Amino acid sequence: MAAKTNDPTALVTDSVLAGMKQGQEFAFSGLSAWADFAGKAFTFPSLEALPMMESVPSPKEFIEASFGFAEELLASQKEFAIKFVETMATASAK
């Protein structure tokens, strides 16, 4: 039997990530075209002109904070999963 040279997990994750990136690029190009059209066809009020906007984080700040929280949460879940697997491996070895 020939040795496998490709990790099946890496193949799946690479395919999923490539598909996701392609979808994001497609969505972004459509959004860019729409924003270009809408910016020429309509006038939009400035977000800063809305009441109480100085107390609301900017969209970029909101995204940074949200993803920071998600990263911390995922890191915590990873740490828990590793400890769980190590504990189960130790218990089954006895």
Classify the C-alpha dihedral 6-10-15-18 as positive or negative: negative
What digits encode the pLDDT tens for the residues 57-79? 888 999 999 999 999 999 999 99
According to the model, what pLDDT value does residue 6 have?
72
Residues of the chain with pLDDT under 70: 1-5
Domain boundaries, the chain: 7-44, 46-94
Per the confidence metrics, is the pTM higher than 0.75? no
Which residue, chain included where needed, has tokens 């002109």?
Answer: 49
Instruction: Determine the Cα–Cα distance for residues 74 and 71; give it in Å rounded to an integer.
Output: 5
Distance CA 79, CA 75 (A): 6
